[in-house]
Amino acid sequence: MTSLWHGFAEMGAVDGHEFVVDRGEGCDVWDESGRRYLDATASLWYANVGYGRREIAEAAAAQLEKLHAYHIFGDFATRPVLELADRLAQIAPVAGSKVFLTSGGSDSVDTAAKLARRYFHELGQPERTVILTRSWAYHGMHAYGTALAGIGANRDALGELIPDVAVVAWDSAEELEEAIDRIGSERIAAFFCEPVVGAGGVRFPPDGYLGRVREIVRDAGALFVSDEVITGFGRTGKWFASGRFGLDPDLLTFAKGITSGYVPLGGVLAAPHVAEPFWRRGVTWRHGYTYSGHTTACAAGLANLAIMVREGLDTRARSLEGPLADALAPLLDHPLVSEVRTGVGLLAAVQLDPARVDADASLPLRAAAACRDAGGTITRALAGGGLQISPALVITEDQLGELASGLRAGLDAVA
Ligand SMILES: Cc1ncc(COP(=O)(O)O)c(C=O)c1O
């Protein structure tokens, strides 16, 4: 019996059967019995610099001793938060961006959604309250993010959380255009878009899709919000996928890779024209979180970014996307696999045959468990029955081979 209520879990099955992770190093983690696993997921897509980085631990420890945290409401600040904001502004895909810090991805989505609506209020267009989102989208679990979910199951059985939200097909610019026409462009505040859909199955944008939707949103006078909670900090071979795809986002949400998860932190980058009305004299935006820009989290973030630069991890995923595709492609001959999605950075999905998943909804979870138990490779079942591949950015080509062998062993075990 356990007292812990796990997220995204069937507690009746989990209770007393926890898989307890004990330590980590590089791309690997060990359970309490001392068995090693190759982590194909970097935990929940966040351990970009890998496990066991003493440098981050020491930066955090030094900060904890000096001043563990001080808030940043009003005119309060700490040196690490100021430095991190400057550092983020330097690497932001839009020059001169301002940085609003949060405690994680869901906070960041909530912040961006409210910010978009408040922005138009400041501009004298308060009727712009509608936010558009895409099928398969995952924008976190706060009420706004849940309302914006394109994974229907995440919205089920809650009633309407937030009105003025509309979902369009994840891969159709035409459908976005039609929705804007139907609702009226003068009512649209923002379009939320993961440059690569993550938790909804790792789905890469069709050729030309991102450029076209960017144009449509600009023409509608609305804000383009690039949700880079997963794709940020080197995951796609650039600091941000927005840079890789030339998205020029009005708002960009981030979390996870900013600290590689050593401590929680998130935020929103706002392009200068979006920040401008909020920086006028006499305007106070009554928003912020107790742990926005937590001092120790910022110290860890600075150490994490320094490692990424020193080791070239901001661009490394680009050079590994070919080897990742080569390592995973042979899995396509497996009877349980219908598709292997690769192509952008260290992100991939091994799709289990939808017909088999329809016939047996427990297959993806069983397959992921078998990859871990029989194959020694940790993966995760994503919405739609894909297995998540998002290893730490330090992974080697040999380890990519090990990862693929582990998946095959697991799939063989359940086939
Ligand atoms: C694209 C995206 N947005 C938002 C979130 C929510 O982040 P968090 O779980 O840190 O609240 C996630 C989490 O995986 C995500 O993938």
Cα atoms in the 13 Å half-sphere on the side-chain side of 248: 9
Question: How many angstroms separate the alpha carbon of residue 194 from the centre of ligand 1?
Answer: 10
Pocket of ligand 1 (CB under 6 A): 44, 104-106, 109, 138-140, 194, 198-199, 227, 229-230, 255
Contact 352, 337 (CB under 8 A): yes
Hey, which of 138, 146, 262 would you mutate to test ligand 1's pocket, going by the most ligand atoms within 8 Å of its Cβ?
138
pLDDT given at position 367:
98
Point out the ligand 1 atom lying closest to the alpha carbon of residue 108: 4
Question: How many angstroms separate the alpha carbon of residue 409 from the centre of ligand 1?
Answer: 30
Burial class (CB in 10 A: 0-12, 13-18, 19+), 33: exposed
pLDDT given at position 16:
87
Question: How many angstroms separate the alpha carbon of residue 200 from the centre of ligand 1?
Answer: 11
Hey, which of 229, 242, 252, 347 would you mutate to test ligand 1's pocket, going by the most ligand atoms within 8 Å of its Cβ?
229
Using CA positions, which residue lies closest to atom 3 of ligand 1? 139
Cα atoms in the 13 Å half-sphere on the side-chain side of 371: 26
What tokens were used for 283? 């305007």
pLDDT given at position 113:
98
Point out the ligand 1 atom lying closest to the alpha carbon of residue 230: 16
State the first-to-last Cα distance of the chain, in angstroms, to the nearest integer. Answer: 31
Task: Look up tokens 């009005």; give the residue.
Answer: 250
Question: Hey, what's the torsion of the CAs at 114, 301, 146, 189, to 10 degrees?
Answer: 30
Question: How many angstroms separate the alpha carbon of residue 34 from the centre of ligand 1?
Answer: 30
pLDDT digit string (tens) for the chain, length 415 residues: 899 999 999 999 998 899 999 999 999 999 999 999 999 999 999 999 999 999 999 999 999 999 999 999 999 999 999 999 999 999 999 999 999 999 999 999 999 999 999 999 999 999 999 999 999 999 999 999 999 999 999 999 999 999 999 999 999 999 999 999 999 999 999 999 999 999 999 999 999 999 999 999 999 999 999 999 999 999 999 999 999 999 999 999 999 999 999 999 999 999 999 999 999 999 999 999 999 999 999 999 999 999 999 999 999 999 999 999 999 999 999 999 999 999 999 999 999 999 999 999 999 999 999 999 999 999 999 999 999 999 999 999 999 999 999 999 999 999 9
Question: How many angstroms separate the alpha carbon of residue 230 from the centre of ligand 1?
Answer: 7
Point out the ligand 1 atom lying closest to the alpha carbon of residue 107: 11
Question: How many angstroms separate the alpha carbon of residue 44 from the centre of ligand 1?
Answer: 9
- Please state, in angstroms and rounded to a whole number, the distance separating the CA atoms of residues 168 and 73: 37
Question: How many angstroms separate the alpha carbon of residue 248 from the centre of ligand 1?
Answer: 21
Using CA positions, which residue lies closest to atom 7 of ligand 1? 105
Hey, which of 202, 230, 254, 260 would you mutate to test ligand 1's pocket, going by the most ligand atoms within 8 Å of its Cβ?
230
Question: How many angstroms separate the alpha carbon of residue 37 from the centre of ligand 1?
Answer: 24
pLDDT given at position 1:
82
- Please state, in angstroms and rounded to a whole number, the distance separating the CA atoms of residues 132 and 210: 15
Point out the ligand 1 atom lying closest to the alpha carbon of residue 106: 11
Measured CA distances, 330 to 321, 372, 405 (Å) = 15, 19, 10
Question: How many angstroms separate the alpha carbon of residue 27 from the centre of ligand 1?
Answer: 21
